[in-house]
Amino acid sequence: MSTSGATPAFELRAASVRLGGTTVWSELSASVARGEFVALLGANGSGKSTLLRVLLGALALSAGSADVLGAAPGRSARAVGYLPQRRAFDSGTRLRGRDIVRLGLDGDRYGLPLPGRRASAAARARVAEAIELVGASAYAGRAIGEASGGEQQRLLIAQALVRKPDLLLLDEPLDGLDLPSQAAVAALVAHISRSHGMAVLLVAHDVNPLLPYLDRVIYLAGGRAVEGTVEEVITAETLSELHGVPIEVLRASDGRLVVVGAPDPPAHHHDRHNRAGAGAAAHSGAHAH
Amino acid sequence: MSPHLGPNVAQDVSELVEYHFMVNALLAGAIVAVTAGVAGWLMVLRAEAFAGHTLSVMAFPGASAAALAGIPAAWGYYAACALAALAIGRTGSLRGGRTPAPRGEAAAGIALVQAAALAAGFLFLSLYGGVLGDLESDLFGTFLGVSDERLITLLVVGAAVLAVLAAIARPLVFASVDPDVAAAHGVRVRALGSVFLLALGLAVAAASQVTGALLVFSLLVGPAASAQALTSRPLASLVLTVALGLIVAWVGLGVSYFSTYPAGFFIATASCLVYVLARLLAGLRSRRGGPRARLPAAEPAPGEVLA
Ligand SMILES: Nc1ncnc2c1ncn2[C@@H]1O[C@H](COP(=O)(O)OP(=O)(O)OP(=O)(O)O)[C@@H](O)[C@H]1O
Ligand SMILES: [Mg+2]
C-alpha cells in the first residue's frame, strides 16, 4: 500500500451514462480506495461492463464526473490493468500464450525491442513470473488459439497482471473456469491485491468464490448502485428495495449465499456449462453443486 | 539467345547472372519478397486478406488513370493503392468509437471501395480511348524491364514500408489480436489499422511489379501463411516468411527465364507448392503428437498457484 494516500483508485460522482438513447445508470456515486478488493455485481445488462469502459476512458459520461488514479479516465492507462469480458481467440491465431502476456507488458511501445539487452531479459522474466503466478506455464508456449477457454482466461489474467497495475479492472474473470480454478483465481487476485497494494474491481455473477477476500461490493440494479460490505448489501431488504420485487437471501451452513427471486436473465444468456443448472430463480449465488 | 535449363544448376545460375536485366530482376524479386513477406505476415495475422486483394485490384484503375494522365503505369498503381488504402481505412471509421468495425461491416466497406475503384478504372479507360500496353506483364509479371530506375524506386518504397512496419510492429500486433485491451493501454487501434493498410498498399503495388497484379498474393500470403502454419513463435515465423519468400521469388524468376511463361506463373506455382508442403508438414507433426500438440499431463492443482 505504498501510494495509499488521499486519492482513491477511482471515484465516480453523480455519474450517468447514456447508450443508444437509453440511460444505463444515472446519479451513480461510488469509489474504491487504493489496495481495496471490490466486487461489481448485478444482473445481465445492468451496466457493469459499461462502468469499466467509463473507467478506462473508452466511454464518456453524459453527466457527473469520474477520476481514475487522480486523473481523468484514460489518462493513466499504464497503471490500469484490464480484462475484458469473454474473449476467445480465433483458433487460427498464431501467437503463443507467452506472446499475448508480453503484449500486456510492452505491446503499446513503438519501435522494436533490442534483443539480448538486460531490459529484454527483465521483461521476459516478468512475463514468466506472471504466467507462473496464474499456473499457466504448461501451455504458455503453445499457440493461444489451441488453448482451452479456461486456459486462455488464465493467460489473459496474467496479461492484465503483468504490469503490476495500481488498478485492476476484471470483467468476469471467473467465467468459464471450473470451480477449483475459480477459487484459485479469486485467491490469487486477492493475494496480489494485498501484496502489491493493487485496487481490484472484479465483475462477477457469483459472489461466493470471492467471499473470503472481498472488502466491499458495488451492486448495480435498475440504473442505480448500492455499495457496502457483503453483509450490508447482499441482504433481503437491500436487494428487494433495489429490484423492486421481494428477494430472499439464504445463507448455507458453509457460509455460501444464495439469492432467490432476483429477476433472472433468459436462460440462453447463461450458456456457461458450470452454471447451467443453477435454476431459474437463483441469481447472485447458488451453485448447482 | 535461346536459354535452356540444363542439368547443371551452377551453370544455369551463372548464365542467369550474366545479364544485367536478370540481375535487376533477381534484386527486385528479393526486395519484393522481403517487403511483401513482412506486410503479408501482418496481413495474415490480422485476417485482412480481403483488403489485400482489393488493393491488388487497384492495378486496373491505377494503370488506366496513368494512361489517361500520360505517366508511367507503376506510378498510377502506387497512387491508386495508397488512395484505396486510405479509403478502406475511412470506411472502417465511419461508425465512430475507438475499436475497429466488426468484420462483416468492414468487409462491406472494402467491397464497395473495390467496386467504386473498378468503375473509376473503366471510366478512365474509356476517357483514354486506347488500349493499355503491356497488359500481360502487368497482370502476370515479368522478369524483363526492371530498369535501374525502377529498381531504385522499389528499394525506396520497400525500405519505407519496412521502416514504418518496424516502428509500429508491437502496437499493431497488439491491436490486431486484442483490440480492446490494446485500446485500454492507450494504443490508437484504428489509426494504426489505417497506417498498416497504407504500408500494405505500397507493398502490394511493389510486389505486382514482379509477380503481376493478379498474382500478388503468391508473395503476400503464400510464404506468411506457410510460416505461420509451421510455427507460432513470432520471430521465427517472420524470419521463415522472408526466407520462403526469397526462395519462391528467385526460383520463379529463374525458371521463368528458361521458359516462355511469365514470372508470376512460376512464382505463384512455387508459392502454392510451399504452402501445401507446409500444411502437410504441420498436419504430420500434430498427428505424431509433437511437443506442442500434446496437452499438459496434469493441470496444476488449484492450491499450487499461491505457493
Ligand atoms: N453500444 C450500445 N448501444 C446501445 N446500448 C448498449 C450498447 N452497449 C451496451 N448497451 C446496453 O447497455 C446496457 C448495459 O450493458 P453492459 O454490457 O454494461 O451490461 P453488463 O452489466 O456488463 O451485463 P452482462 O452481465 O450481460 O455482461 C445493456 O442494456 C445493453 O443492452
Ligand atoms: Mg458485462
The confidence score (pLDDT) of residue A76 equals 84
pLDDT higher than 50, residue A223: yes
* Alpha-carbon torsion (B189, B193, B195, B199), positive or negative: positive
pLDDT attached to residue B300:
41
pLDDT of res. A116: 66
Residue A225 has which C-alpha cell?
Answer: 448502485
Residue B306: inside a domain, yes or no?
Answer: no
Q: What is the pLDDT of residues B164-180, one digit of tens each?
A: 999 999 999 999 998 99
Residue B138 lies inside a defined structural domain of this protein: yes
Grid coordinates representing B156 are 525506396
Q: Which of B170, B177, B296 sits opposite A100 (nearest CB)?
A: B177
Amino acid B96: pLDDT: 61
Give the pLDDT of residue A162: 93
Query: If you measure from the C-alpha of residue B107 to the centroid of ligand 1, how many angstroms do you get, rounded to a whole number?
Result: 25
B293 within a domain of the structure (yes/no): no
Rg (alpha carbons) of chain A, rounded to whole number: 19
pLDDT tens-digit series, residues B83-121: 999 999 888 766 666 667 777 788 888 999 999 999 999
Whole-number Å distance, alpha carbon A50 to ligand 2 midpoint, is 7
**Is the residue at B58 inside a domain?**
yes
Q: Which residues contact A264 (CB under 8 A, 6 or more apart)?
A: A43, A280, A281, A282, A283
Name the residue of chain B whose CA is nearest to A82's CA.
B181
pLDDT reading at A64 higher than 70:
yes
Cβ–Cβ under 8 Å, residues B193 and B175: yes
Could you tell me if A158 and A100 are in contact, meaning their C-beta atoms sit under 8 angstroms apart?
no
Q: What kind and span of H or E run contains A186?
A: helix A179-196
| Residues paired with residue A217 on neighbouring β-strands, in sequence order | A39, A228
The average confidence (pLDDT) of chain B is: 85
Q: Note whether residue B40 is domain-resident.
A: yes
> Which residues does chain B have within 8 Å of residue A135's beta carbon, measured at their own beta carbons?
299-300, 304-305
CB < 8 Å to B192, chain A: none
How high is the pLDDT of residue A262? 65
Which range in A206-220, A253-267, A272-286 is most confidently predicted, on average pLDDT?
A206-220
Task: Judge contact between A140 and A151, C-beta under 8 A.
Answer: no
Closest-lying ligand 1 atom to the alpha carbon of residue A51: 18
Computed from CA positions of residues B102, B215, B210, B208, in that sequence, does the dihedral angle turn out positive or negative? negative
Q: Do B170 and A112 touch (CB under 8 A)?
A: yes
pLDDT tens per residue, range A181-209:
899 889 989 998 998 899 999 999 888 89
pLDDT given at position B95: 62
CB contact under 8 A, A111 and B292: no
Establish if B4 belongs to a structural domain.
no
Give the pLDDT score at A196: 87
Cross-chain Cβ contact B45/A133 below 8 Å: no
Which grid coordinates are listed for A18? 447514456
Please give the sequence-ordered ranges of beta strands (E in DSSP) within A121-198, or none if there are none.
Answer: 167-171
Q: What would the grid cell of residue B283 be? A: 498436419
pLDDT at residue B197 tops 70: yes
Q: What is the pLDDT of residue A263?
A: 61
pLDDT for res B170: 94
Q: How far apart are CA A56 and CA A160, in angstroms?
A: 13
User: B178: which chain A residues are within 8 Å (Cβ-Cβ)?
Assistant: 87, 100, 103, 107, 159
- For the question of an ipTM over 0.85, the answer is no
Among all bound ligands, the one having the nearest atom to the CA of A83 is 2
Q: How far apart are CA B123 and CA B105, in angstroms?
A: 27
Closest approach atom of ligand 1 to CA A172: 27
Mutation test of ligand 1: which of A16, A18, A19 has the most ligand atoms closer than 8 Å to its C-beta? A19
Q: For the segment B223-239, what is each residue's pLDDT rounded down to a tens digit?
A: 999 999 999 999 999 99
Main-chain dihedrals φ then ψ at residue B98, nearest 5 degrees: -100, -25
- Does residue B121 belong to any structural domain of this protein? yes
Q: Which residues contact A100 (CB under 8 A, 6 or more apart)?
A: A89, A144, A155, A156, A159, B177, B178
Cα angle A224, A226, A231 (rounded to 5 degrees) comes to 155
Q: Name the one residue in this structure whose C-alpha cell is 550474366.
A: B18
- Are B110 and B88 within 8 A, CB to CB? yes
Cell of A115: 534483443
B181 found inside a domain: yes
How many domains does chain B divide into? 1
Q: Name the grid cell of B106.
A: 468492414
For residue A273, what are the contacts with CB-CB under 8 A and spacing of at least 6?
none
Grade residue B31 by pLDDT with cuts at 50, 70 and 90.
very high
Pairing of strands A199-203, A216-221: unpaired
Q: Write out chain A residues lying below 8 Å of B45, CB-based.
A: 93-95
The reported pLDDT for the residue numbered A256 is 82
Q: Which domain holds residue B43?
A: 9-287
pLDDT at B212 over 60: yes
CB contact under 8 A, B300 and A138: yes
**Res A1 pLDDT > 70:** no
Q: Which amino acid is at B128?
A: Y
Is a pLDDT exceeding 50 seen at residue A282? no
pLDDT at A271 over 70: no
Confidence of residue A69 (pLDDT cuts 50, 70, 90): very high
What is the pLDDT averaged over residues B4-30? 84
**C-beta of residue B31 within 8 angstroms of C-beta of residue B285:** no
DSSP A174: T
Residue B123: which CATH number? 1.10.3470.10
Q: What is the spatial order of strands in the sheet that A22-32 belongs to? A: A22-32, A10-19, A63-68
The pLDDT of residue B39 is above 80:
yes
CA A217/CA A230 separation, integer angstroms: 6
Least confident range of B136-150, B204-218, B219-233: B136-150
Alpha helices in chain B (DSSP H): 9-16, 20-46, 49-57, 59-69, 73-92, 103-128, 135-140, 148-177, 179-184, 189-211, 217-220, 222-230, 234-257, 263-288
